[in-house]
DNA sequence: ATCAAATAGTATAAAAACAGTACTCTTTAT
DNA sequence: ATAAAGAGTACTGTTTTTATACTATTTGAT
């Protein structure tokens, strides 16, 4: 079963929570409260999203996270990439991290590329806005 | 990292091997030899593919597997489904096997459906033929 | 009939990935 | 100075994946 991690699922929940709040700046604790998700989990997700600039973070007392792009501009592809790492359908696709044991003798080396491209563009064309409607 | 299982990758290797052989009927052992993959692995893949009628199996002495569809008619979606199970991007998507702990209070219940649909159609539109060319 | 070749189905053990949590460090408003 | 809040990292238990093994069934050949 092809699937995204649970954390990616949480990421969507958290991001959607932003759109349902009047405050632009929300702390991890506040978001945990809103989403009813465990606070450490929410904190972890937000750190990952911040690293890829999907949310903006402000450190220090009174800090928190904010969403400064419109949600129609945030694709599922970038959320998944931020949380689960690069989208690579097999280990022998272009840009995959590890490499494959059979590379030397393999009959389908690189053949998954078209699949990977298809997958990637499918995920790029779904935005957060599509998931809240 | 979104990915298909290793077995799905092997499945493609094995299916491609069919197209490079003169014999229509090949045993698991013969395919293992052709693909240089370990025989138990090849056997396992073929069993799964046979169960979903992607290959046809003939039991008994002198038996083996054959491919009776043109490879242009075999989509990656069906291979992945046969080997890895249904394509369900999260556990709370329509048609997923298990169900989710947060179903009761979740803000994005079913929201991954559009993603799942996009993914599925992406995989349906790539055939084995696209991977051998 | 018997044997051997071959697939079907199930079970097992080791390895890898994931999920959840905890802890320390740095930044910043008061 | 202090406390609030994010950044970064590390750890542990659980789950999934991977690879293999074993038994049962089918079928052609002797
Ligand atoms: S199976 Fe990885 S290079 Fe082919
Ligand atoms: S996280 Fe599963 S129903 Fe929402």
pLDDT in tens, B65-86: 999 889 999 999 999 999 998 8
* pLDDT tier for residue A3 given thresholds of 50, 70 and 90: confident
Q: What DSSP element (H or E) covers B57? A: strand B56-58
Confidence of residue A125 (pLDDT cuts 50, 70, 90): very high
pLDDT band at B94 (very low <50, low <70, confident <90, very high): low
Residue in this structure with the two tokens 């402000």, named with its chain if needed: A58
Among A69-78, B106-115, B124-133, the range of highest mean pLDDT: A69-78
Which of these, B70, B83, B88, lies nearest to B132 by C-alpha position?
Answer: B70
Shortest CB distance from B108 goes to which of A4, A12, A88? A12
SS3 A56: strand
B3, B111, B131 ranked by CB distance to A88: nearest: B3
Using only the alpha carbons of chain B, give its radius of gyration.
17
A84: Cβ under 7 Å from strand C?
A: yes
The pLDDT-based confidence of B101 (bands split at 50, 70, 90) is: low
Q: Which residue of B has its CA nearest to A92?
A: B9
Model pLDDT, residue A87: 84
pLDDT for B105 beyond 60: no
With beta carbons under 8 A apart, name residues in chain A contacting B89: 2-4
Report the topology of domain B6-132: Arc Repressor Mutant, subunit A (1.10.10)
Calculate the CA dihedral of residues B59, B74, B16, A124 and round it to 10 degrees: -140
Residue B87 pLDDT: 83
Q: B90 in contact with A at a CB cutoff of 8 Å?
A: yes
Q: Report d(CA B45, CA B4) in Å as an integer.
A: 14
């Amino acid at each position: 079963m092809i699937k995204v991690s649970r954390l990616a699922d949480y990421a969507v929940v958290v991001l959607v929570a932003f759109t349902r709040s009047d405050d632009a700046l929300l702390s991890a604790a506040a978001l945990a409260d809103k989403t009813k998700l465990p606070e450490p989990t929410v904190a972890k997700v937000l750190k990952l999203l911040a690293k890829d600039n999907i949310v903006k973070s402000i450190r220090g007392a009174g800090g928190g996270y904010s969403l400064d792009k419109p949600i129609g501009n945030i694709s599922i592809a970038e959320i998944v990439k931020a949380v689960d790492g690069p989208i690579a359908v097999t280990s022998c696709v272009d840009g995959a991290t590890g490499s494959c044991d059979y590379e030397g003798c393999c009959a389908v080396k690189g053949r998954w590329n078209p699949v990977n491209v298809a997958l990637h563009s499918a995920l790029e064309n779904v935005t957060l806005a599509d998931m809240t409607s």
